[in-house]
Structure 1
Amino acid sequence: MTDATQDKRAAAEHEEWKAKGVALRAFFHIAGTHVFAGFIMMLFHLGEHARK
């Protein structure tokens, strides 16, 4: 294998690793947003049904 081929393979592996990182980060941001929204909805629900 030549150095150019090894460099291309290393660059491709690095890009694949970066893409996985972006996908993982996006998943956690989306999941976190849903958890936060659910918490806020729960607060509204509990406040609506609270004894006054």
Structure 2
Amino acid sequence: MTAPGTDEPGTDEPGIDTERWKERGVMLRVFVYVFATHAFAGFVWILFYVGQHAQK
């Protein structure tokens, strides 16, 4: 029999599957934010590097 709020049979804690899904969502969001921040910082770093080495 499946416990209410879960997809796992025999789970006594209702909503544990929902908590796992939320935890995965948070971890994915953190990964995306960290990746996007580093990508933006790298782009800015390249702009400064190119600007510093530009022919003036």
Q: Does 1:26 align with 2:30?
A: yes
Q: Which has the higher contact order (CA 8 A, sep 6+)?
A: 2
The ranges of structure 1 where at least 4 consecutive aligned residues each deviate by more than 3 angstroms after the TM superposition are: none
Sequence identity (%): 46
Q: Which residue does 2:10 correspond to in 1?
A: none
Deviations 1:11-37 (A, max 9, x none): 000000000000000000000000000
RMSD: 1.4
Q: 2: distance between equivalents of 1:34 and 1:6? A: 42
Q: Does 1:6 align with 2:3?
A: yes
Give the structure with the larger helix fraction.
1
Q: 1: distance between equivalents of 2:54 and 2:46? A: 12
List gaps (5 residues or longer) in structure 2: 5-12
List gaps (5 residues or longer) in structure 1: none
Name the TM-score, length of structure 1 as normaliser: 0.84
Q: What amino acid is the match of 2:3?
A: Q
Name the TM-score, length of structure 2 as normaliser: 0.79
